[in-house]
């Protein structure tokens, strides 16, 4: 009974971790916008989410498909993100405007991604707050 109540909460907390991870990757890209030879990274939210939630992915209703793999992303096997415990790969972004120093960061795209990820992180936070309020009011019965 209680498990079904907290399932949504569990799912959103995992989504929050993946969002934080992506925020970190994009922050690294922006930090390295002027580093010669740096290759921009990104993670595919759907794959990362599937890896983080494992077999329990199908039980949560809002299976996030809105952020499907971008056409510019190339999947990469082998690299892992330790803190998530999953094995989803960090992809390399494809250069749209190649530069002489081999840096593949597109600052405009990274900033857009950063803003997008920020909003989605806040949305996930609100989902969590909403579910926790729902559970609290169910417990208190007032």
Residue 71 as a binder of another protein (CB under 8 A): the answer is: no
Residue whose CB is less far from another protein, 46 or 120 = 120
What whole-number distance in Å separates Cα of residue 102 and Cα of residue 14? 35
Residue whose CB is less far from another protein, 64 or 121 = 121
Residue 32 as a binder of another protein (CB under 8 A): the answer is: yes
Q: Which of 20, 60, 64, 94 binds another protein (CB under 8 A)?
A: 20
Phi-psi region of 4 (alpha: psi -120 to 50; beta: other; left: phi over 0): alpha
What whole-number distance in Å separates Cα of residue 40 and Cα of residue 82? 19
Angle at 43 between CA 42 and CA 48, to 5 degrees: 170
* Structural contact between residues 30 and 24, judged by C-beta atoms closer than 8 angstroms: no
Residue 132 as a binder of another protein (CB under 8 A): the answer is: yes
- Which residues of this protein are in contact with another protein, per CB under 8 A? 16-17, 20-21, 23-25, 27-28, 30-38, 41, 43, 79-83, 90, 107, 111, 114, 118, 121-122, 125, 128-129, 132-133
């Amino acid at each position: 009974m209680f498990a079904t109540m907290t399932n949504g909460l569990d799912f959103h907390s995992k989504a929050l971790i993946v969002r934080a991870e992506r925020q970190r990757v994009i922050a690294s890209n922006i930090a390295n916008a002027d580093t010669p030879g740096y290759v921009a990274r990104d993670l595919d939210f759907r794959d990362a989410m599937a890896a983080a939630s494992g077999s329990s992915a199908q039980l949560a209703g809002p299976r996030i498909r809105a952020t499907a793999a971008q056409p510019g992303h190339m999947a990469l096997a082998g690299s892992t993100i330790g803190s998530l415990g999953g094995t989803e790969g960090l992809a390399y972004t494809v250069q749209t405007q190649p530069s002489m120093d081999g840096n593949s960061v597109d600052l405009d795209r990274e900033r857009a991604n950063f803003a997008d990820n920020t909003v989605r992180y806040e949305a996930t936070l609100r989902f969590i707050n909403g579910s926790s309020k729902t559970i609290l009011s169910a417990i208190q019965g007032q």
